[in-house]
Amino acid sequence: MEPVDSPAAAASTYYIPHHAVVKESSETTKTRVVYDAGSKTTSGFSLNDNLLVGPKLHLDIVDVLLKFRIHSVAFTADIKQMYRNILIRESDRDFQRIVWRTSPEAPLRDYRLCTVTFGVSSSPYLALRTIQQLARDEAARFPRASLVLMSDVFVDDVVSGESDESRALSLQQELISICQSAGFELHKWHSNSSALLLASQPTYSNGERRENVPFAQMENDSSTKVLGLQWDPNSDSFSFSVKVFSEKCTKRSILSEVARITTL
């Protein structure tokens, strides 16, 4: 975001309410910011009320998971801060203003968000359209990775694999390269191949791999999340994680729990 010193006309400005949400189970980001672009102004309308959401670009989650299970060597990765790495047009940034200060003692200041932002109704389309454009632009240099970005991505999750380890390692490097060409970074790698996990680790300046804590945890961890489902890389199988919140078993509680599982 960038500071804003001059006021803008009300007709071309929108201030987005925001607050923090803490998720202790997250691997990397424990605290996230939630922006409410659906908050209505004195006009009775919100930013989201005035935006087109764009056509549906994301694939059906069932199709992505079924294709994922075909591969002998499977892997998943996240596009790190995908929204935050996509700039929006400068003339549109005043519609993404916020009020912020670094401490309770500091004065309030106006800022505007310069990148695609969570909570804005057009953001999912903008992000996926950018990834698909990257796949088209770099198809000649990275043909296999381009196909993965077009058909094996759900929001910011890359869910793919290959028939053997050598092809999977080659595809992994292609994916890293095609993403780096546009300023994106793939992280939180999970796989049923230890060689592929090792290849995803950062290196020292001399080229040697350095094993970090997440890698050690990956080897010891029996399962991880893949698009809402538990995936055990060792047995290469899916499972459900069920937490019953009601001590009293009723028809209502059973239906509620079944609905929660089947909508993951």
Q: In the structure encoding, which two tokens stand for residue 104, read together? A: 């309770």
**Angle, nearest 10°, between helix axes 143-151 and 165-180?**
80
What is the rounded end-to-end Cα distance, in angstroms, of the chain? Answer: 33
User: Which residue(s) pair with 161 in the sheet?
Assistant: 74
Q: Please count the other Cβ atoms lying within 10 Å of the Cβ belonging to residue 99.
A: 12
* Position with higher pLDDT, 176 vs 207: 176
Higher pLDDT, 249 or 123: 123
Question: What amino acid occupies position 29?
Answer: T
Task: Copy the structure tokens of residue 67.
Answer: 């294709």
Angle, vertex CA 73, rays to CA 68 and CA 76, nearest 5: 55
Residue-wise pLDDT tens digits, 54-97: 998 888 888 888 888 889 999 999 999 999 999 999 999 999 99
208-236 residue pLDDT tens:
554 443 443 444 445 677 777 788 887 77
Q: Using the predicted structure, report yes or no on whether residue 36 has a pLDDT greater than 50.
A: yes
